[in-house]
A = this chain, B = another copy of it.
Amino acid sequence: MSAPKGWEAIRAEVLARIDRRDWAPGAVIPSEADLAEEFGVARATVNRALRELARQGVVERRRRAGTRVATHPVRKATLDIPVTRLEVEGRGQRYEFRLLERVFAAPPPVVAGRLGLAPGARLWHLRTLHFADGRPYLYEDRWLNPAPLPGRAPPAEAAQISINEWLVRNVAYTFGDISFSAEAAGEAEAAHLGIAPGAALFVIERTTWAGEVPITLVRLAYAPGYRLHTLL
């Protein structure tokens, strides 16, 4: 046990009062100014504490309306989206990858649509198999817009660096979205990953953008046993 100091102590005390139902869900808690006086600290310190609680979803804050205890404590979990190589090596396993395909082609309409590109636009299509200790670990299917790339082309097949690592080092993205789902393995995926068709795969789909320009859409299918973990 260690007693927090400063704004963390304020946060802890406010949390404790919420937990004890001193301040019930939906209720308005005292204003920053009042709390600052009660705790004998500057308002900025209270503000920092309450801002953190708001970011965690414990309270909701609005000008004039004040700070309320969240009625439905939507807990927020922060996931680290790792670079595959570091994820594998972080478990003490040997990382390798093999580029299966690298072609310049027109994507299916659904892909073009997701990236907001005109039908008929041509993209790089890259398929990569990643290994952990020599065993298939992750099947990656990526569409890559040449426009924002230096040299307008991804690294050659012989490159020693994976597409993703090359991307994060060479093309800065400003935002994106990510989704997680479970899907049954298709024939091709199953063959690459060395599993039976229909097996349950953990799938991450991600799109990234640099301003208005789409960079990439990637589908990551993890071999059975993969688990994404984080603390609340």
Nearest residue, chain B, Cβ from A20:
B172
Q: Which residues of A contact B (CB under 8 A)?
A: 15, 18-19, 25, 57, 72-83, 86, 165, 168-169, 172, 174-184, 198-203, 206, 208, 222, 224, 226-232
A229 vs B73: C-alpha distance when bound (angstroms): 19
Task: Determine the chain B residues whose CB is within 8 A of the CB of A18 once the complex forms.
Answer: 172
**Which residue of B57, B75, B169, B175 contacts A231 across the interface (Cβ within 8 Å)?**
B175
Residues in B with CB closer than 8 Å to A200 are: 182-184, 198-201
**How many copies of the chain does the oligomer comprise?**
2
Are the C-beta atoms of B226 and A182 separated by less than 8 Å? yes
| A81 pairs with B76, CB closer than 8 A | yes
A176 and B81 form a contact (CB under 8 A):
no
Complex: A158 Cα to B156 Cα, angstroms: 63
Which chain B positions have C-beta within 8 A of A78? 76-79
Residues of B with C-beta under 8 A to A165:
72
Contact A80-B86, Cβ < 8 Å, known A178-B232, A180-B227: no
Q: Which 5 A-B pairs have the closest CB atoms?
A: A182-B182, A19-B172, A200-B200, A182-B202, A176-B232
